[in-house]
Copies of this chain bind each other. A is one copy, B any other.
Amino acid sequence: MAKPNVISKNELIRSAKKCLVKNGIEKFTLRAVAETAGVTQGTVYYHFRTKEQLLLDIVKDICGSSWDELSKSDGNIIKQAIETAKSRCSHDSFFHKLFLTLVVSGFHNDKIREQLEGIILQENKALAENLLKIWPSSPIKGISLDTWAIILNAVVDGIALQALLSKNFPVEKTYAELEKLFIALSGLQEVENK
């Protein structure tokens, strides 16, 4: 009955992520993961010794893809960032649902929390570096580029949160005006630099 090598760890993680977003962490059962992946429960357990480990592997997987995405960035980082951010906050954004679910899970699991903290720190750092390319100095005196990065990241997450809660959230409008804000800030800088 044992069919060797029918499934890979990555396929299982993909199935698990689907389940997590579909059923929520409250009903995130290994049985569901197994069914989604088309294997038995025993198989899931063979690959991840515990449920917690599977959850952690999901988080690590996300960290990995997050890192990949960041390292690809170039050129007009901001425009691109806004584009990405916007894509993440459609009303049922897979990514942000997964992310927030894991964040909440991290409140009671330090291993998970630390991994997520790593993502945030990386994102903030990448953002600060990219800001440096377009803002030789901060557009407003007294606000460091690091803080700008924190704030921008916070805005993106906060908007995503609102969008996930509210079916009628004006994603387009908000991001359009957010871009104006950004342009205005960039303009300020030129003024100051004179």
* Chain A residues proximal to chain B, CB less than 8 Å: 21, 23-27, 97, 100-101, 103-108, 113, 116-117, 120-121, 140-144, 147, 150-151, 153-159, 161-162, 164-167, 173-174, 177-178, 180-181, 184, 188
Contacts and interface: CB of A to CB of B under 8 A. Distances in A.
A140 B184 contact: yes
Nearest to A166: B117
B147 A157 contact: no
A66 to B, nearest CB: 14
Nearest to A162: B120
Main secondary structure of the interface of A (DSSP, over half): helix
A147 B101 CA distance: 26
Given A24-B107, A157-B161, A151 B178 contact: yes
